[in-house]
Amino acid sequence: MLSAARNIINKTIDFFHPPFARIIPLQTFRYLACGGTNTVLSLVLYSFAFNIILRRESTHIYGNVNITAAVGAQIISFCVSFPIGFMLSRYIVFPESNIRGRKQLFRYALATATFILLTYVLIKTFAIMLPMVRADISFVFISVITAVLSYLSQRFFTFKTTAEEELGDQ
């Protein structure tokens, strides 16, 4: 079933690649398609969780601890989009990686946590250093920075291919 799903996704993405083939390599195009789809899924899930599941109200956790609807919706969205993003990266974008799955998952989680922190720091930095720039414009710029760095970290760290790993898995 996984193989059939992989083939369908690859054929769908590859169908749209030819007009961009001269400027974007197939792997990068697959990364953009998978990442973009996962981002849209995350936004839809966030909106659904915020408006429908949580009804825009804080949720009581324990004692005096409450989670705002915005944070709760982010947690719900993340719990779905994180594993989907990992699976898309592992099986669609970087299937040639010869690193064991557990190690890939750990590295993916580490990179994801790093980029969540980086996004927070950049938002704060832009707000302090460039207060005249609208927050939404800053966020678009920050998103581009983190997307490029994310691709590079996945390609050269999380899902890299090395002869060293090949020998270790035999």
How confident is the prediction for the chain on average, in pLDDT?
91
Kindly tell me if the per-residue pLDDT of 149 is higher than 60: yes
Q: How far is CA 25 from CA 22, 30, 133, in A?
A: 8, 9, 33
Residue 168 reports pLDDT greater than 70: no
pLDDT digits (tens, 9 = 90+) for 19-54: 999 999 999 999 999 999 999 999 999 999 999 999
Helix 69-88 and helix 26-48, axial crossing angle in degrees, nearest 10: 150
Rg of the chain over CA atoms, in angstroms? Answer: 19
pLDDT at 162: 77
pLDDT of residue 170: 42
Q: What percent of the chain has pLDDT over 90?
A: 79
> pTM surpassing 0.85?
yes
Give 75's contacts (C-beta < 8 A, 6+ positions apart). 67
Q: In 10 A of CB 113, how many CB atoms?
A: 10
pLDDT band at 77 (very low <50, low <70, confident <90, very high): very high
pLDDT of amino acid 164? 60
Predicted confidence at residue 139, as pLDDT, reads: 83
pLDDT bucket at 167, cuts 50 / 70 / 90: very low
